[in-house]
Amino acid sequence: MSITLHDVARLAGVSIKTVSNVIHDYPHIRPDTREKVLAAIAELDYRPNLSARGLRSGRSGAIGLIIPDLRNAYFAELADAVMTAAHKRGLYVLIEQMGGADKQAELEILRGPRMQMVDGILYSVLALGQEDAGLLDISTPLVLLGDRIYNGPTDHVTMPNVDGSRLATEHLLSLGRQRILALGAHEDEVIGSAGLRLRGYTEALEAAGVPFRPELVVNVGNWHRFDGAEAMRATMASGISFDGVVAFNDSLALGAMRVVQEAGLRVPDDVAFIGFDDIDETRYSLPTLSTIDPGRAEIAEVAVGWLLERISAEPGSIAPREHETAIRLVQRESTTFA
């Protein structure tokens, strides 16, 4: 049997209301009463029962984080950032992975029993798209992450993808590269990370007066190292020549960089590489990888902050907001000449 408010109240010689007041820092309590109560709490090692508190208050103190896959370094680092931001505010985080990109599965997780007990949800959209925005009008407070749905029915936090990609491409152009591969495109995608990053790429070429060559745009299904390696093998086999690669994430870049080097080309001398995400690994690859830092901590801070605002606000009282982080070009060896 665990210690309850009653036990503390009895030991301190007060009522449970007073104990509750002390716990919640209710201001009007006589100092000596507070002392007595705190002493009793310490002596009994009292811990509030969170289920009871949750039942009574309607709040669990937990938020959900729905991400594609923890084994993906980007999302592991995002989860870490979200947990840090949440703990600062006394919340705990329930992580849920959705695995493959299946709309139905994703919606089920969003509405499923596991997200039942959280006060709000941070959802990094993967399978759903702009056309599904309507499905997100759920009663649980929700903040969207990622680049699949803009101007949806609720808040959205992401990085400026077009700017980031333009920055990355300009960086390679400034090195004198002219035949730059865009690695990681998704056919016919306009919105979504792939679509937006392709747009930034084309904008940068255009601004620099470098002709856009469709054969330099490489479509890739998933964004893992494996896919980057495969796509690069196919590209090289097809005989296309290039002297720079803007990869739409770091994993793709690392996979592709490996294949390029295997083929005897030097990085950055023969081919310069830049990625997206600034995952830890980019600091230790051979060579280290230049990348766009998306401002992960800022994403987490703003998203958790907004989610909390929604949790305490009247439903419907906060109009949907959009936040884009400050990004940063991180130059490393893959674009630096000795």
Q: Are 282 and 332 in contact (CB under 8 A)?
A: yes
88 binds, among DNA, a second copy, none (CB under 5 to 8 A by kind): none
Q: Does 235 bind a second copy (CB under 8 A)?
A: no
Residue numbers 161-220 binding a second copy by CB under 8 A? none
23 binds, among a second copy, DNA, none (CB under 5 to 8 A by kind): DNA
Q: How far apart are CB 296 and DNA at their closest, in Å? A: 33
Q: How far apart are CB 235 and a second copy at their closest, in Å? A: 17
What are 156's strand-pairing partners? 144, 322
Q: Does 33 bind DNA (CB under 7 A)?
A: yes
284 binds, among a second copy, DNA, none (CB under 5 to 8 A by kind): a second copy
What are 182's strand-pairing partners? 217, 246
Q: How far apart are CB 277 and a second copy at their closest, in Å? A: 13
The tokens for 178 are: 């002219």
Q: Radius of gyration of the chain from Cα atoms?
A: 25
The tokens for 280 are: 């830890």
Considering beta carbons, is residue 130 or 261 the nearer one to a second copy?
261
Q: Are 145 and 157 in contact (CB under 8 A)?
A: yes
Q: How far apart are CB 290 and DNA at their closest, in Å? A: 50
Q: Does 71 bind a second copy (CB under 8 A)?
A: yes
- Among residues 4, 29, 33, 77, which is the contact residue for a second copy, using CB under 8 A? 77
Q: How far apart are CB 204 and a second copy at their closest, in Å? A: 28
Considering beta carbons, is residue 83 or 271 the nearer one to a second copy?
83
- Among residues 32, 151, 237, 284, which is the contact residue for a second copy, using CB under 8 A? 284
Q: Round to whole Å and give the CA distance between 301 and 128.
A: 24
Q: Does 331 bind DNA (CB under 7 A)?
A: no
Q: Are 162 and 196 in contact (CB under 8 A)?
A: yes
Query: Quick count: other Cβ atoms within 10 Å of Cβ 305?
Result: 17
Q: How far apart are CB 40 and DNA at their closest, in Å? A: 12
Q: Does 102 bind a second copy (CB under 8 A)?
A: no
Phi-psi region of 136 (alpha: psi -120 to 50; beta: other; left: phi over 0): alpha
Q: Does 85 bind a second copy (CB under 8 A)?
A: no
Q: Are 29 and 18 in contact (CB under 8 A)?
A: yes
Q: How far apart are CB 20 and DNA at their closest, in Å? A: 4
Q: Using CB under 7 A as the criterion, which residues of the chain lie in contact with DNA when the complex forms?
A: 1-2, 4-6, 13-18, 20-21, 23-24, 28-30, 33, 46, 48-49, 52-53, 55-57
Q: Using CB under 8 A as the criterion, which residues of the chain lie in contact with a second copy when the complex forms?
A: 47-52, 54-55, 60, 69-71, 73, 76-77, 79-80, 83, 92-97, 113-114, 116-117, 225-226, 229, 254-255, 258, 261-262, 280-281, 283-286
